[in-house]
Amino acid sequence: MTPPTVRQALVQCSLVPLEAQVLLAHVLRVDRAWLRAHEEDVLPRAKATTFFSLARRRHDGEPVAYLTGFREFWGFVLAVTPNVLIPRPETETLVEQALHRLPTDRDLRVLDLGTGSGAIALALARERPRAQIVATDVSEAALQVARANARRLGVFNVEFTLADWYEHETLAASAPPFDAIVSNPPYIGAGDPHLAQGDVRYEPMAALTSGADGLAALRTIVAGAPARLASRGFLAVEHGYDQALPVRELLAAAGLVDIDAVRDLAGIQRVALGWHGD
């Protein structure tokens, strides 16, 4: 059988057009503009076989990011594996809000809790080269991905540390304080039906769920923040679509002030922020 053309392969795979284009561009090591300009080119047989194999896996539910090994975030490309959460556009809201509050004209210390692929830490590090960023994760496999991303992107002002939230000597309350603490922690309730749907079925459960109500990690992060923030340092966290009020209450209970709530591009309250007033 004659191998298909580019256009025929994109149709025959029966995927959403964007996903089909991303997978085929990945297999051919070209960009999507090249696909549009070469629609009538016949695919090499081996490339066609690889593409349709990936398409079948996508039909079975595997995330495109894991199939290609990459995901774009904040204008750069991150390597991702099933050991890390796939970076999502709503998390760019957290980065944006942190950057609004981080000065550009002085040295800074920033803590990223639960860094995963390194998405938040690396975005902040690239935008604030005078910042020294500590990025933690409880998973050594995740940290390996994050370190590799830092090397590939040429980012050298991030220190990656194996830690369970604040449980590390360099993060003790007696250690030097941070100008900002940021985190996109697990915040889905353990019994949430969304965990059995879509891409999240393939993502690390520890990066998704945190207790019955999804707030266990956020409670730990918020409670420990004031003791580790410098005067007028701030905490910024991402949370679930229905958690804005309880998270703001956690911030207030911890003594943080000037608490703010920020909506993502979909109009959903997604980020909560508070300042250390001392």
Residues 161 and 202 in one domain: yes
Q: Quick check: is 29 in a domain?
A: yes
Q: Quick check: is 73 in a domain?
A: no
Dump pLDDT digits (tens) for 96-155: 999 999 999 999 999 999 999 999 999 999 999 999 999 999 999 999 999 999 999 999
What is the number of domains present in the chain? 2
Average pLDDT over residues 215-244: 96
Confidence of residue 176 (pLDDT cuts 50, 70, 90): very high
Residues 120 and 28 in one domain: no
Question: What is the share, in percent, of the chain residues with pLDDT greater than 90?
Answer: 91
b (16+ CB within 10 A) / e for 150-185: beebebebbebbebebbeeeebeeeeebbbbbbbbb
Average pLDDT over residues 178-202: 91
Cα–Cα distance between 215 and 183 in angstroms, integer?
13
Residues 126 and 184 in one domain: yes
Cα–Cα distance between 225 and 227 in angstroms, integer?
6
Domain span at residue 157? 83-275
Cα–Cα distance between 195 and 161 in angstroms, integer?
28
Dump pLDDT digits (tens) for 68-98: 999 999 999 999 999 999 999 999 999 999 9
Element (H, E) at 7: helix 6-12
Residues 54 and 87 in one domain: no
What is the domain-level CATH number for residue 166? 3.40.50.150
Residues 157 and 229 in one domain: yes
On the question of pLDDT at 1 being above 80, the answer is: no
Confidence of residue 278 (pLDDT cuts 50, 70, 90): low
Q: Rounded mean pLDDT of the chain?
A: 95
Please check whether residue 70 is in contact with residue 80, taking contact to mean a CB–CB distance below 8 angstroms.
yes
On the question of pLDDT at 196 being above 90, the answer is: no
Question: Whole-prediction pTM value?
Answer: 0.92
